[in-house]
Amino acid sequence: MMSPVSQESPSADVHWTPQGWRADGQLAVDATGHLAESPDAVGEPLGRWVLPGMPNLHSHAFQRAMAGLAERRGPGNDSFWTWREAMYGFAAALDPESLQAVAAQLYVEMLKAGYTQVCEFHYVHHQPDGAPYAQPEAMSLALIEAAKEAGIALTLLPVLYMTGGFDGRPLAPRQRRFGHAEVSDYLRLLEALRAHESADLRVGIALHSLRAVPENAMRMLLATGAAQAGPIHIHIAEQLGEVQDCLAVRGARPVEWLLDHADVDARWCLVHATHLTGHETSRLARSGAVAGLCPTTEANLGDGLFPLADYLDAGGVLGVGSDSHISVSPVEELRWLEYGQRLVTRHRNIAARSEGASVGETLWRAALRGGAQAAGLPVGALDAGRRADLLVLDDEAPLLAARDAGSAMDSFLFAGNAPLVRHVMCGGRWVVRDFVHHDEERIAARYRATVAALAARA
């Protein structure tokens, strides 16, 4: 069982703020699992370094079980599009029970790595032939239950998915379980899921992509009250082929077209905004929307590199996600966000945009801000009124030996691969203590049996 935290704890020696590490004051948790102002709080010190938990702004939970299964070369040049065919085949084997087992295992892994919230971009809605389940929201409910099992905060983003391309062609047979024929069907799903909202669950909306949502359907959805009640996410400009198709059919690049045809603002998260012109970069930054970046998946799929330096210089907001979960680590996402820029520019310390700035602090601060905005939840900072979602690093780890406030974050992100997240609190409850999740053995055993059964169906 997860243990609740008393009003008097936790207390911290040093905790992270947007201005850097802070040694004064104490952290306290109220009865609702939120942080409270309590300068006189006392309790057992947690450790030297305490950070806000990282929001994970983009996840397809089911893909965790296929990680590593698409790494053999095909007869031609493999690409995102060939990987997508393998993914469709795997998705066809899922049902609510297996999805819950896979998602719970993934969410335990996220918590142990330092993610305390996840935005689940969920499009596997129906049975494999496209027929709704007897309870149409059954697959979504499996994700909600998985998040409860693990103890992670969830922003559920049911996806509107209607067409197979910019030309409006019907969904292919292996896409049918993703689709809704009418916007009204999708709105009924949203209504059913929002009845489950709580302090741990937010329900937003997602447009799969411009190629999968016709313009009239997008306009119809965005005009409803449902679109005003939470965050809005969309896949955008991930692949050059997608950009070229959008230009051919709609006469504009995807990000350009979206900015021209929708009121894109801070409610929006544009996932994989990879291929941008300079003009699109500055416009996206000015909009206040979040650029949702998933560097390990974008590298795995051969997507390309986001224009990080120009976007940061323009004041853009960004966050990171683990997407296909070939890696489940905010450290690795941020590390490769920086390393990709170093490879293409042949320079170092790209994210730090001023002399003396820390790359690690810049990236962690930016991802906390953008992740919290994309989640639509009060997360991402150790401030009164925010959820008590925090990480305690292992101050006994050799990688953090002799580190001070000027070097701790950079060492956390760049010094090695040993696990450094020792304890994790989510919503005021300890879910990981001394590197161990409270229910990981049961969840892992069920996951192993589930994956074996899925493999047998393939």
SS3 388: coil
Closest Cα to residue 281, out of 318, 251, 250? Answer: 318
> Which residues neighbour 193 within 8 Å (Cβ) at sequence distance 6 or greater?
137, 140, 144, 156, 158, 203
H/E run at residue 245: helix 240-250
Closest Cα to residue 116, out of 429, 373, 410? Answer: 429
Spot the catalytic one: 200, 303, 323, 395: 323
**Total residues found in the chain within this entry:** 458
Distance CA 276, CA 32 (A): 42
Q: Are 231 and 157 contacting, i.e. CB atoms less than 8 angstroms apart?
A: yes
Q: Are 206 and 160 contacting, i.e. CB atoms less than 8 angstroms apart?
A: yes
Other beta carbons within 10 Å of 181: 11
Spot the catalytic one: 272, 275, 325, 437: 272
Closest Cα to residue 274, out of 258, 294, 259, 289? Answer: 294
Would you give the DSSP letter of residue 306? -
SS3 24: coil
Question: Catalytic site residue 383?
Answer: no
Angle at which helix 254-261 crosses helix 215-222, to 10 degrees, equals 40
In order of 297, 306, 339, the CA distances from 344 in angstroms are: 18, 11, 9
| Per-residue b or e along 276-294, where b marks 16 or more CB atoms closer than 10 Å to that residue's CB | beeebbbbbbebebbbbbb
> Which residues neighbour 196 within 8 Å (Cβ) at sequence distance 6 or greater?
141, 144, 203
Question: Catalytic site residue 272?
Answer: yes
Would you give the DSSP letter of residue 66? G
Q: Which two tokens stand for residue 12?
A: 């911290």
Q: Are 396 and 46 contacting, i.e. CB atoms less than 8 angstroms apart?
A: no
Q: Which two tokens stand for residue 373?
A: 């905005």
Q: Are 127 and 91 contacting, i.e. CB atoms less than 8 angstroms apart?
A: no
CA 218 to chain centre: 23
Catalytic (active-site) positions: 272, 323
